[in-house]
């Protein structure tokens, strides 16, 4: 039997990068997959087709994870269409990097809203269904810079550090109903986001990684699969670094 057979997962920011890899990994293991993004574009359409080709039910939804009202409508629509939500992956995220002296208020507020408030929005929306069914796995996508900080990323680091605190609190709030909450803290993962870095910055990152290479989205997806499945039935409130040893 597949690890996620008969389960339904919701993945925010699922059209590309880490979110896409998680969606495909979950589908291979039998999960029906609902994923959301800010727009329905060619990435969303192609992923939807790939997931259906794997023999599971799949649907892309257009939703702004940073909006409480849209998040609530999204969850209600998924429960109506799929009948349940067993796994939530709060993956939606953006960067607006700059040194604090050059960072404007808009870039601070936007990163906090998309990266941190979105997790509040979706978790609050799904909890009533998970509590009722007395089971569920919530996975928040943090970052190693939420643990260690990083110059030029005070907004991003703060949002990811906030996610870690949120994760630990929700694990304690919902644990008595068998709802688990964990965080994954990726390091340098090769995605569209990191592709924007120049060669000098990229090389500096890799030199600080004991495995001397960047990770790929599937490295993160493998850990997400573990946390989503019953293999992690006694794992909650934890932060798992996926960083090639960069953060120990």
- pLDDT value of position 171: 98
Residue 233 CB burial class (10 angstroms; 0-12, 13-18, ≥19) = exposed
Supply the pTM of this predicted model.
0.95
Q: What is the pLDDT of residues 130-155, one digit of tens each?
A: 999 999 999 999 999 999 999 999 99
DSSP secondary structure string for all residues of 96-151: --B-GGG--HHHHHHHHIIIIIHHHHHHHHHHHHHHHHT-EEEEEE--THHHH--T
Give the integer Cα–Cα distance in Å for 115 and 96.
11
38-55 mean pLDDT = 97
pLDDT grade, residue 242 (50/70/90)? Answer: very high
Is 156 a known active-site residue? Answer: yes
From 68, 156, 188, 234, active-site residue: 156
Domains contained in the chain, CATH given = 8-242 (3.40.50.720)
- Is the pLDDT at 1 greater than 90? The verdict is no
Over the stretch 95-116, which tens digit does the pLDDT of each residue have?
999 999 999 999 999 999 999 9
Mean pLDDT over 11-29 rounds to 97
Q: How confident is the model at residue 202, as a pLDDT?
A: 75
Q: How far apart are CA 228 and CA 97, in angstroms?
A: 31
């Amino acid at each position: 039997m597949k690890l996620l057979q008969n389960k339904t997962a919701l993945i925010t920011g699922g059209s590309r990068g880490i979110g896409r890899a998680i969606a495909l990994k979950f589908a291979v293991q039998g999960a029906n997959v609902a994923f959301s993004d800010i727009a329905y574009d060619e990435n969303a359409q192609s992923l939807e087709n790939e997931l259906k080709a794997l023999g599971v039910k799949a649907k892309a939804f257009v939703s702004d994870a940073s909006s409480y009202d849209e998040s609530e409508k999204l969850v209600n629509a998924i429960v109506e269409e799929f009948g349940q939500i067993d796994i939530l992956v709060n993956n939606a995220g953006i960067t607006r990097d700059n040194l604090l002296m050059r960072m404007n208020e808009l870039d601070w507020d936007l990163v906090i809203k998309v990266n941190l408030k979105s997790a509040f929005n979706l978790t609050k929306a799904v909890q009533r269904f998970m509590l009722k069914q007395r089971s569920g796995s919530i996975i928040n996508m943090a970052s190693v810079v939420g643990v260690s900080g990083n110059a030029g990323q005070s907004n991003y680091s703060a949002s990811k550090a906030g996610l870690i605190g949120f994760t630990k609190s929700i694990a304690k709030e919902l644990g008595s109903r068998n709802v688990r909450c964990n965080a994954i803290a990726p390091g340098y993962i090769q995605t569209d986001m990191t592709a924007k870095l120049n060669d000098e910055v990229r090389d500096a990152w890799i030199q600080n990684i004991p495995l001397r290479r960047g990770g790929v989205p599937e490295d993160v997806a493998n850990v997400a699969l573990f946390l989503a499945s019953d293999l992690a039935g006694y794992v909650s409130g934890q932060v798992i670094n996926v960083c090639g040893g960069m953060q120990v």
